[in-house]
Amino acid sequence: MDSKFKFLLRLGDDSMILGQRLSELCGHGPILEEDIAMTNIALDLIGQATNIYTYAATLTPEYKDADGLAFLRFEHQYYNAVLVEQPNGNFADTLVRQFFFDAFRVPFFLKLRESNDETLAAIAEKSLKETRYHLKHSSEWVIRLGDGTELSSERAQLAVFDLWRYTNELFFTDEVELQLVSEGIIPNLAELRETWLQTIHSVLQMAHLKLPSEQGFFGAGRVGRHSEHMGYILAQMQYMQRAYPGMQW
């Protein structure tokens, strides 16, 4: 598989699967304003995925458009990080998952704007504007939950302890990334870790939350091996296209 195509799938699948997860909350937010906010973030992420998939489809004869890449692949052909497929759980679980992801995506898109690939640079420029808002939203809520009631603080802390083990995969690097870094197409993911950690520590300190003593590594989504939750996501997400192939609105 072409390195750029596989990287685009990793990038697009992160947005698509997390957008699908957040869309499950439509009509189920804790307050009306937050219900709308989470739905808008889901739409932003699915929009990002559409742009990325549209570009990826030009690099392969197998899929003709973004819809084909979104709806016509099998589970092992998705390369999103396992973090984004984790269940929404309670509100703290949802916001901590979002915060860990947003804190990575902002510096990533900042650097991706400098890509030698003009299309990728343009996608990064547009996505950065949205992702900065996503990070502001998720970090403010993590602080509010951590520094809130005894119950909200307890749930936020449990979410941090539970989800932290999945975050190492955001910096997964193999020959795909190494080749693209050498060609000036993507940033070196390892060089983003310090900025990401600074954001994590700063927000958690304000939230009076702690990280586990060890980060660990759990997740092989970048090579197509997922948690038990992924199959259920795809079953729901792909149903209409699988039941009525080639359907159009």
Does residue 43 fall inside a structural domain? yes
Assess if residue 175 is contained within a domain: yes
**Nearest alpha carbon to residue 219 among 10, 7, 5, 8:** 10
Question: Treating both helix axes as pointing N-terminal to C-terminal, what angle do 32-57 and 118-146 enclose, rounded to 10 degrees?
Answer: 160
Residue 249 has a pLDDT of: 61
User: pLDDT tens digits for the chain (249 residues)?
Assistant: 699 999 999 999 999 999 999 999 888 777 777 878 899 999 999 999 999 999 999 999 888 899 999 999 999 999 999 999 999 999 999 999 999 999 999 999 999 999 999 999 999 999 999 999 999 999 999 999 999 999 999 999 999 999 999 999 999 999 999 999 999 999 999 999 999 999 999 999 999 999 998 777 777 999 999 999 999 999 999 998 888 887 776
Q: How far apart are CA 189 and CA 111, in angstroms?
A: 10
**This prediction's pTM:** 0.95
pLDDT computed for residue 96 by the predictor: 98
- Domain boundaries, position 104: 3-243
What's residue 52's pLDDT? 98
Question: Is 248 a member of any domain?
Answer: no
Q: In Å, what is the CA distance from 137 to each residue of 32, 75, 103, 122, 144?
A: 15, 31, 11, 24, 11
CATH number of the CATH domain containing 60: 1.20.1260.10
- pLDDT at residue 213 in the model: 85
Give domain status of residue 249, yes or no. no
For the chain, how many structural domains are there in total?
1
- Residue 174 located in a structural domain: yes
